């Protein structure tokens, strides 16, 4: 019996040791998997913020380059009026200034932030000005302290008229604008923070240590031989990755994920710093189950070894399922971040398309106006030149109206997106609105040899609506139909269906592909076809129509067949 007892005790101890060893190994494996997934999640979050900053800065730079191109034929003192709409409609600029060929600031907006009369050569601050002028390309400088407080980075864009140097447009972007939009709320409060440094290791933003902004981390905040200094050196070398360091102030081990931000000739680095306890919290529930598992297994071993294998297998399967669930949660979170990153890239593409569209739609009429003005200057008072003058004035008038329409469309789409579109609702005769809209487009239709046929069934319904906005919608729909119809006719059919007025505007034009029908009401979207590129346009008309109709409590949709024409169906709220 003593020998058997000793054997049972030995087997029991051996089994307990095996269970503890396996539990420890499982803990290590779980910790490794969770930590790896957590690091990848932080790196994806950092990439998302970096992509947003890059897209924002590139958009502002392109806007200033377009402004410099359009201002090449104006005197430096007359450029302020161009700065004002860009300053207010494109948030993010601290100031926009014009520096003449002698290096003197001659105009700028806002006036209180533009040092008018400042001579860059007199204060020995002309290096960036000289570089932009000599290389004839945009030059970005590292952030510097601003007169109004904070830091800002400068965009220097040379202005040339042919080979003649006219000066430099200087635009300053606050660092606080970038941090407020892309860094401050990227991580929930109390769960970590974000920071950004330039290529020399100087702090541009720090979500926790505000006193470090503008200072060098290495040497003033961390010693040169610390683990955090190694991470900062990797960031300064434009690397991407993750690392660990011990924060002496908080006494916590931190996980840092960092990625570069590339802006033309400047490269900065954005990073997230999160306590390693955030990752540890994800596996605490698993650890508790494992500890409970070991305790129960030991108790069962001591009570009787007969059932230990079965119980061990059951708990082990439960642990595996728990690990799989936690791992699956982390993978789903990473997938959501990747999806958000893809949406951000799509937003960047839409912004690029917007800048390209606005550049083209503004530059084309400006070019026509300038050419017509030059022709007018060269004409005499003869009868033949008088006819030419009239033609030139008509060209100027058309292109001026074209620019007015673009600005009006941009303002309308902005009001719609921000919910500030105001509609003056009053009793309106719907058929009278349709007749007025068709009448205003009949002259254009007659020139193209296209008939506008109206089929207004029954008594005209009285609705509560904004007459001018409804005319704007139907004029836009008829105008689109005329653009894409080379021959045939435009039919407008109106009737009341279940007390809802239904208006159908049909054409016999080129039609719309099925895969484009759901996207034609998106802003800036245009169907990719030869005729679309030929007739041009901003891609805002249908988006504005949709906003106005929905503001009336109605809906709009499109039906089409390629090569046979399109029909736009407007359904309004119930008639009175």
Return per-residue pLDDT of the chain as tens, 576 residues. 566 667 877 887 877 787 777 776 766 776 777 778 888 888 999 999 999 999 999 999 999 999 888 887 777 777 788 889 888 887 789 999 999 999 999 999 998 888 899 999 999 999 999 999 999 999 999 898 887 778 899 999 999 988 889 999 999 998 888 898 899 888 888 888 899 999 888 999 988 888 888 888 887 777 777 888 889 889 999 899 998 888 776 677 889 999 999 999 899 999 998 887 876 665 666 666 667 777 787 788 777 765 655 565 667 677 778 888 888 888 888 888 888 787 777 666 655 555 555 555 555 666 667 777 777 777 766 666 777 777 778 778 777 766 666 676 677 777 777 777 788 889 999 999 999 999 989 988 998 899 999 999 888 888 888 888 899 899 999 998 898 888 889 999 999 988 899 999 999 888 888 888 778 887 766 665 444 445 556 678 888 888 888 888 899 999 988 888 899 999 998 765
The contacts found for 241-244 with CB under 8 angstroms, 24 or more apart, are 241/43, 242/39, 242/42, 242/43, 244/276
Q: Yes or no: say if 476 and 545 are a contact pair by the CB < 8 Å rule.
A: yes
Task: Provide CATH code, domain 426-571.
Answer: 3.30.565.10
End-to-end CA distance of the chain: 101
- Taking the model in full, what pTM does it have? 0.48
Beta bridge partners of 216: 202
d(CA 46, CA 503) in angstroms, rounded, equals 50
* Ramachandran bin of 554, using left for φ above 0, alpha for ψ from -120 to 50, beta for the remaining angles: beta
Domain residue extents for the chain = 426-571
d(CA 342, CA 364) in angstroms, rounded, equals 33
Q: Yes or no: say if 98 and 120 are a contact pair by the CB < 8 Å rule.
A: no
d(CA 504, CA 445) in angstroms, rounded, equals 18
- Beta-sheet pairing, 105-109 with 93-99: antiparallel
Q: Is the preceding peptide bond at 110 cis, omega within 30 degrees of 0?
A: yes
């Amino acid at each position: 019996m003593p020998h058997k007892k000793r054997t049972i005790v030995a087997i029991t101890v051996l089994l307990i040791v095996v269970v503890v060893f396996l539990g420890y190994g499982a803990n290590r494996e779980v910790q490794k998997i969770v930590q790896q997934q957590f690091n990848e999640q932080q790196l994806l979050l950092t990439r998302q913020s970096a992509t947003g900053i890059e897209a924002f800065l590139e958009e502002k730079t392109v806007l200033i380059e377009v402004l410099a191109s359009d201002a090449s034929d104006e005197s430096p003192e007359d450029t302020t009026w161009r700065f004002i709409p860009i300053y207010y409609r494109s948030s993010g600029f601290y100031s926009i200034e014009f520096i003449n060929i002698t290096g003197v600031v001659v105009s700028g907006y806002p006036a209180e932030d533009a040092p008018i009369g400042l001579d860059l050569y007199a204060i020995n601050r002309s290096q960036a000005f000289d570089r932009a002028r000599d290389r004839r390309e945009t030059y970005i400088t590292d952030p510097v302290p601003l007169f109004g407080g904070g830091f800002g980075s400068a965009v220097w864009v040379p202005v040339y008229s042919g080979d003649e140097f006219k000066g430099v447009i200087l635009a300053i972007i606050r660092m606080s604008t970038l941090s407020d939009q892309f860094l401050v709320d990227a991580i929930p409060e109390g769960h970590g923070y974000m920071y950004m440094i330039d290529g020399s290791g100087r702090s541009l933003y720090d979500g926790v240590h505000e006193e470090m902004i503008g200072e060098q981390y290495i040497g003033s905040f961390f010693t040169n031989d610390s683990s955090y200094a190694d991470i900062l050196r990797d960031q300064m070398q434009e690397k991407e990755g993750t690392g660990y360091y011990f924060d002496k102030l908080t006494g916590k081990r931190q996980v840092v994920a960092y990625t570069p931000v590339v802006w033309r000739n400047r490269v900065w680095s954005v990073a997230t710093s999160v306590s390693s306890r955030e990752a540890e919290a994800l596996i605490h529930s698993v650890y508790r189950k494992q500890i409970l598992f070991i305790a129960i297994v030991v108790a069962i071993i001591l009570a009787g070894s007969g059932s230990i294998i079965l119980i061990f297998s059951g708990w082990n399967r439960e642990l595996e399922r728990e690990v799989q669930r936690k791992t699956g949660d982390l993978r789903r979170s990473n997938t959501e971040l990747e999806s958000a990153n893809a949406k951000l890239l799509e937003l960047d593409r839409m912004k690029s398309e917007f800048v390209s569209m606005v550049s083209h739609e503004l530059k084309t009429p400006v070019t026509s106006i300038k050419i017509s003005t030059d022709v007018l200057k060269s004409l005499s008072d003869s009868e033949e030149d008088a006819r030419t003058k009239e033609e030139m004035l008509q060209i100027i008038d058309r292109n001026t109206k074209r620019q007015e329409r673009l600005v009006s469309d941009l303002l309308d789409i902005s009001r719609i997106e921000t919910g500030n579109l105001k509609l003056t609702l009053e009793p309106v005769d719907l058929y009278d609105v349709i007749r007025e809209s068709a009448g205003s487009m009949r002259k254009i239709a007659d020139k193209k040899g296209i008939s506008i046929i109206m089929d207004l069934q029954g008594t005209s319904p009285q609705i509560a609506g904004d007459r001018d906005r409804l005319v704007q919608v139907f004029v836009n729909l008829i105008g689109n139909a005329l653009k894409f119809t080379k021959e045939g006719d435009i039919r407008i059919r109106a009737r009341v269906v279940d007390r809802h007025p239904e208006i159908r505007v049909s054409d016999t034009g080129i039609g719309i592909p099925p895969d484009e029908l759901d996207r034609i009401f998106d802003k800036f979207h245009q169907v990719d076809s030869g005729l679309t590129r030929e007739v041009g346009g901003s891609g805002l008309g249908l988006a504005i129509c949709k906003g106005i109709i929905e503001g009336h409590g109605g809906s709009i949709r499109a039906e089409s067949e390629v090569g046979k024409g399109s029909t736009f169906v407007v359904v309004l709220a119930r008639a009175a």
